[in-house]
Amino acid sequence: MTVKCRGCGAPVLWLKTESGKSMPVDPEKVMYWKVRGGKKRIVTPNGETVACELSGDLQDATGMGYVPHWSTCPKWKDFKKK
C-alpha cells in the first residue's frame, strides 16, 4: 500500500522494519550492493536495514531493496524541524 508523502507528495510505501517500526520508503525497488560502512541505506523486503552502495558491478549486486524516503525526499529536513 502506498501513501503520499506529506512533504513532497511523492508516493511512499510504509515498510515494517525488523525492530517493528514503520519506515517510509520509495515504492520502486532498486539494486543494491551490501558494503560494510556503506554510506547509503536500503531496507530489504524483509525489513532489514542494510548499509550499502547503490552502484557497482551488476554481477556482484546483493539484491533488490527499498530506498528510505528520507534519503530522497526534498522536504524531509523541513519535516524534522516541526
Question: In the set 3, 4, 8, 57, which binds Zn ion (CB under 5 A)?
Answer: 8
In contact, 1 and 13? CB cutoff 8 Å: yes
Of 16, 12, 15, 14, nearest to 26 by C-alpha is 12
Interaction pattern, residues 46-75, with Zn ion; x per rule: CB under 5 A? ---------------------------x--
Question: In the set 3, 4, 5, 43, which binds Zn ion (CB under 5 A)?
Answer: 5
Binding residues for Zn ion, per CB under 5 A?
5, 7-8, 73
